[in-house]
Homo-oligomer: A and B are copies of this chain.
Amino acid sequence: MIMSRIEAPRDERTGNLLDRLLAGLPAEAVLTDPDVTASYAHDMASFCPAGSPAVVVLPRTVEQVQHVLRTATELRVPVVPQGARTGLSGGANATDGCIVLSLTKMDRILEINPVDRVAVVEPGVVNAALSRAVEEHGLYYPPDPSSWEMCTIGGNIGTASGGLCCVKYGVTAEYVLGLDVVLADGRLLTTGRRTAKGVAGYDLTRLFVGSEGSLGIVVRAVLALRPKPPRQLVLAAEFPSAAAACDAVCRIMAGGHVPSLLELMDRTTVKAVNDLAHMGLPETTEALLLAAFDTPDPAADLAAVGALCEAAGATQVVPAEDTAESELLLQARRLSLTALEAVKGTTMIDDVCVPRSRLGDMLDGVERIAAKYGLTIGVCAHAGDGNTHPTVCFDAQDPDESRRARESFDEIMALGLELGGTITGEHGVGVLKKEWLAREIGPVGVEMQRQIKQVFDPLGILNPGKLF
């Protein structure tokens, strides 16, 4: 690969860029083989354009990242930061001639402190690696996106990721106390704190969380941890309609319960999971609701929630016997998106979050949209958060079906906004939803956000073409 860097055809501009980068980076941290750089072109979103990077860099230190940014500023070259590229909005997609800045080699856990309940990490640490490491100290890092075995903390911060745990434990944003950020011009900015509380000045930490690498490059994060809760116990409830399942969700939340998980899989999703993994989920159900508690007495909590499900019309309520059975149910839920992808080969995964009181209307609407466009749209949802993932299944080789997929995807976002929701609960805007961002936040919001972008990135070199 190092040889191919030298041999690859290079115009003067790229040559200059490479020379400058190599002045502050070891040769093995600079990739230019087009076959290799092409593999860094995009994340896991469908329908998002991606360009060809001029170079991929893999720094291992803060100073190296600063060097990359100083070089980029000097030569006015766009920088696209990347974690594991498991994102679903094209937020990590390369632009032509850019520097792809992969943070995956900065993967050290620098500290885990059980008294302060914080971890200090580099951005390339894989979510599951951190989760396991803190568990050894009796601690818990809650955010658990479906891609947790692959995705990085830096990527999680960039997209403000969620997961199954959010109904009780919130999203990534709530666990980021402080950051070290390399700015567009290479300067290092430290934000936030490592204390439990702190209000010194504007909350820049939170500004970077979810900013999709468009304001600066996170090179170090102080994360809040919680004590490890008891293992959760899961209950599965079958419903004769999505509306009944949503009614159960409302009863559970209005009843003051705090489940550690409250997930919904519709009939399409249940069938897809069975087809893929033969898990024996009940295919007669119109909607399967999974609820879990990690409280001192989860069986009692599940009994109370089970009764509410029955009151809402559940035909079957089955608490898991033990944590092993619970884990199987969660596995089924975690397989949902992969299973739906197998239906037609390609999916577009929407991420609309509505007030949970409107969840029933949302699911109704998605069914209407699926019928209108003649498409299979499976819905799995973080129901307790009102966060739905209507997943359009289509054959990407069929242009007409692809067009209908894109149109139905957009119509689902319009429905979400109509119901008082947001176009993205946890996946971010990226390339996929940028026209929709403007619709959601309005012209004053767009103007203020653009001006903030301008403050941090006056030359517009940081992840251009994303968000706006």
Contact = CB atoms under 8 A, between A and B. Distances in A.
Contacts of A200: 422-424, 429, 433, 437, 440-441
Contacts of A448: 183, 189, 204, 455-456
Nearest to A444: B189
* Interface size range on A against B: 35 or more
A25 interface: no
Contact of A385 (B195, B202, B442): B195
Interface string A191-217: 101111111111110110111000100
Given A200-B437, A200-B441, A444-B183, A353 B206 contact: no
Contacts of A382: 197
A62 to B, nearest CB: 14
A428 B199 CA distance: 6
A453 B202 CA distance: 9
Contact of A207 (B171, B203, B441): B203
A449 B207 CA distance: 11
B455 A197 contact: no
Contact of A117 (B191, B210, B253, B444): B253
Contact of A203 (B206, B254, B444): B206
B115 A357 contact: yes
Contacts of A190: 441-442, 444-445
Contacts of A166: 196-197
A171 to B, nearest CB: 6
Contacts of A254: 114-115
A227 B113 CA distance: 30
Nearest to A451: B455
Contacts of A118: 355
Contacts of A449: 201-202, 204
A424 B193 CA distance: 11
A159 interface: yes
A438 to B, nearest CB: 9
A187 interface: yes
Interface string A242-260: 0000000010011011100
Interface of A: 113-118, 138, 159-160, 162, 166-167, 171, 173-174, 183, 187-191, 193-204, 206-207, 209-211, 215, 226-228, 250, 253-254, 256-258, 295-297, 353-357, 382, 384-387, 420-429, 433, 437, 440-442, 444-445, 448-449, 451-456, 467
Given A199-B429, A452-B452, 15 more contacts: A113-B357, A114-B253, A115-B356, A116-B386, A166-B196, A166-B197, A187-B444, A190-B444, A196-B385, A197-B426, A198-B353, A200-B424, A204-B449, A228-B256, A448-B456
